[in-house]
Structure formats: structure tokens, C-alpha cells
Amino acid sequence: MSVLTQKTWDVKYTPEVLEILGGDHLLYVRGYILLEYLSRDVAVLERRSHLFHDTLTVPGMRETMEQTLETLERIAQMVQMQSRVSEGDRDLYSVKELHLYFDVVDRLSTFYLEQGSKLTSEDYKAWLGHTHDIAQTEDYQAIKRGTADLIEKISRVKSISIGFNVDASLSVCESGILSVNDRPIKSGQLIDRLLRPSSDEFSMITMAPLIAPKRVCNEKEYEVLTYSLNQALNKIFKRELRQWEPEMDKYLKTNLDYLLDSLPDLQFIMGVTKILANLQSHHLKLCKPIYRPEAEKCFSVSNFYNPTLAVSMAERGIKGGIVKNSLTFDGEGSIFLLTGANSGGKTVYMRAIGLIQLMAQLGMPVPADRLEISPSSGIFVQLPLYSNKDSRLVEECEKVRATFAQADEHALCIFDELFSSTDPAESIALSEEVLKAMCHKGIRGIYSTHFHSLGDHVAEIHAGVQNCRSKIDFLVAEVDEKTERRTYLITRRPPDKKSYAKTISDKYGISYDRLV
């Protein structure tokens, strides 16, 4: 599964693109930036899609991988702590580490025997199959038998009693371990010990409430405390530890290090699985993308929806279903000029397109009935700025220039009502230049505007571009003619003059009917 950790950094994107698209909470994975795993490699994306499918559908797979991830993260913490102590004090860590590895290997081997035939992912088959093969070797069984007594002794340690000698000023002058116990110390009060001082049960109850060290110590102090206790235990079990330490260390490095190397893969897989499980919990339909070569510049999606909006509606108990749309980029239109009624769903629609491209390039299933898609070299999204009006136009122009400095013919660009802070003539003139650049570079994209007359300039834009590699077509946010309500359907057709007037009157709250 090492292919997943190869961050090629070959997909460029607008800074904070998830926040702009409204998917920052929906696609959030704690601990790292999900978008670092964007890929243009179709083979990698196909392999990831099988991993996610198996994790969600094979019985017991998700639970097994979650337990494995938790154990490997504990091992990683031990390895980190082990690196900070002297070589002679590492033996105890090695035993604990080996014990956890046994737990992982046995769990994965059992799962492979029970469910291996149901796997579709070749990565999972190879990884789990290799683990199962190790579990069957005589070396594995021998070292497991040989260390069983030592692991059992250490595993039985549930608490340690420590004593301190103090001088006349109550300063600690000596300290030592009084006992290593096979049961935990319980929190108590002084009165508990006074009532039954000779009781064995009450000998394991404190005279003051227990305190969690992490609540009163900083990270460094906590590490020192843990290290000190482990060093003491290391001396107690010193003879038995030294007997097995060379064999344990050799076996771990030779046979089981690959499991810890898989930790970033599992963190990525389980992080994405959690996102997908959240979508599925709301009964939202997802489909596996059909990947096409990048050179085809394919994007054809049927019955897609905005997943962020769908989850929000489900969480608020809004029923009735979310409106779905379809879109295909083709030879007659790989740049779409989107117009129509305000509050008609244009921004939600464009955000959904951006999220679908992002999710597909992570290898994830997407919110649609069907998707054929080519990877993009860059995903660039620019929505209206709500800063000071005087500086807004300058900021927008700077961001547009930054986008085109990075975008090539395989990029996807989504622009929502750029330059609307200036007067119509300037806005149309600037928009024409952006559309010409998109046509020349062969960029796929959507350009939303409330200046409907921009559509009258499409033929002129095409004619003014040398080597025009992308053609402009139209999308319209529809309104029901009878009820004048928004339908949130976006259709591929030229806008009519009626829709021009309707949108403008809605924008400014001025209409004949309302005024008269």
C-alpha cells in the first residue's frame, strides 16, 4: 500500500480551496491536510477506490482496520519514546512493542482467513496475505512461544507502588519501588485507610484522590515520568529482557517493520472511510468514478448533488430530497457561462462540481449516480470577495493572475461572479479577457455572471482567440414560469431575454408587479 504515501505534489489548487467550496468540515481529517494526497495518476486512483470500497463493504473490515490503526499508533509512540533513551534501557520497550505486533499480526491473519476471498483490492490482498504468511512461519510461532512468559509478566503489571524517604525539611532524599502490582490502585480518601488499615483490599486505595499526570504535567514532564518508571521496570525484568532482546530486535526489524511503515496509509484510508461513512449514514448515494486518461479531459456526471448541502439538510431534518443536476464537458462546450436567477443554486452547483473533482482525485466515491472523469492538473476556484469595495477588484485581479500563472490545458477553473464590484462595462471587458485566456489555454471551467449581456460576446470571444482550444457554451439556473419559484435545476441552454430581466429585477428588488 506504499503507493498511497507517495505525495507527488503534481496537482495544484487554490489556497484554502476546501473552505471556498464549503467542504472544509465535510472533508476534514484530523492530523494532516487531505489535499496533499491529490493525484493525477489514474492507476493510483483506481487502486485507492478499491481500498475504500473494501473497507466500507467487506464484513468486519472497517473495525479490523480501526483496531489495527490504533495499535500501530501506540507502537509508533513507543518507538518515538524508545529513541530518546539509552540503548541499555530500550529492552522493556521492545517487549511491549513485540506484544502489540503479535496482536496486529494475529488479528490480520484471522481476518484474512475469514474474509480474504471477498477482497477486491490487490493492495489489501498482498498486505494481508503477507501478514498471514508471517503468522504461519515457525520463526514467528517460536518467538511468540519463547517470549510468552515474559510478556505475560509485564502485561500483568497494572500499578507500581513507589516510596520516598524525606529529611527533616520534608525534602526527598531517597526513593525506590516498593512493589509491582497485578491490579490497579484505586482512588480513595484518608478515611478509607483509617477505617480498615489492615485490609488487603484497602492497601491498594490511595489516601488522596488519584490525579491524571497529563492534567498536571506538561508533555516534557510526562515523558520524564514515564521514562523513569520504565527504567525502573527495566531493571526489575533485566535478566529476562537481556535474554530475549537480541532476538526480538532482529525479528522486529526483519519481519514486522513493514506494518509500522503502513501507518500513514492506514491513517489516510481510515480518515477517508470516516468521511464516506458519514455520508452513507445520511443515506446519500455515492458512485465509484470511472477514470479516463488525463489527455481526454473528460468530465461527464449524472444526477450529482452538493454533499455539504445534503448533509446539512439531513442533519436539520429537512426532507423532500435535494435537487440533482447533470453536466458534460465536450467539444461543444468545455467552458460554461452560467447565468440565471439570483439564489437559484448557481454557487451551490459550482461548489459541487469542484468537490466532485477533488473527491475523485483522492480516489473517493462521489455524490452522483455516475461519473466519468479525467484527472486535472490543477483545481482553481474563485468566489466573490466581501472585502472593502475599493480593494475588492484589485484582490480579484491578483488572484486571477495567480491562477493563470499555474493553470495549463488540464486545469479546472471555477469563477463565480468576478468583477461584479465594478461597473458593467468594465466587468464585461475583464470577463472577456479571462474567457479568452481560458479558450486559448484549453482550460475546462465554469464562469458565473449576473451580467447576462456577456453571453452576446461569445462569438466575438471565440473569433478573437488564436488557436482556440476550448469552446464556450451556456448554463441557466431555471425558474418555474408559473410560480416564479427557483427550481435549482441548471440546464444547458442559451439564456433568453426574459431570464435577463427577471434576474436583474430580483437582484435589486425592483419589478413592475411589485412597484405597481
How does pLDDT run across 255-311, given as a tens digit for each residue?
A: 888 999 999 889 999 999 999 999 999 999 999 999 999 999 999 999 999 999 999
Position 475 in a domain = yes
Task: Name the residue type at position 73.
Answer: E
- pTM of the predicted structure, to 2 decimals: 0.81
Taking only the tens place, the pLDDT of each residue in 310-324 is 999 999 988 878 999
Cell numbers 491490579: residue: 183
Cell numbers 487554490: residue: 14
Position 105 in a domain = no
Cβ-Cβ contacts under 8 Å for 96 (sequence gap 6 or more):
78, 154
CA–CA distance, 505 with 499 (Å, rounded to integer):
10
Range of the domain at 486: 285-304+316-515
Position 161 in a domain = no
Residue among 230, 229, 179, 222 nearest 204 (CA): 179
What number is the average pLDDT over the span 375-400? 85
CB 455 within 8 A of CB 337: yes
The number of domains in the chain is 1
CA–CA distance, 165 with 171 (Å, rounded to integer):
8
pLDDT at position 87, please?
Answer: 52
Residue among 337, 338, 411 nearest 374 (CA): 411
Position 344 in a domain = yes
Position 497 in a domain = yes
Taking only the tens place, the pLDDT of each residue in 463-514 is 999 889 999 999 999 988 888 788 999 999 998 765 555 555 665 666 656 6
Position 381 in a domain = yes
CA–CA distance, 473 with 458 (Å, rounded to integer):
8
Reduced to 3 states (helix: H, G, I; strand: E, B; else coil), residue 222 is helix
| In the chain, % of residues over pLDDT 70 | 83
pLDDT at position 298, please?
Answer: 97
Cell digits of residue 265 = 496509509
What number is the average pLDDT over the span 333-350? 93
Q: How far is CA 450 from the centre of its chain?
A: 35
- Mean pLDDT over the full length of the chain: 85
CATH value at residue 399: 3.40.50.300
Distances (CA, A) of 143 to 95, 128, 258: 11, 21, 18
Position 205 in a domain = no
CB count in 10 Å sphere of residue 399: 17
- Which H helix or E strand runs over 444? strand 444-448
Position 449 in a domain = yes
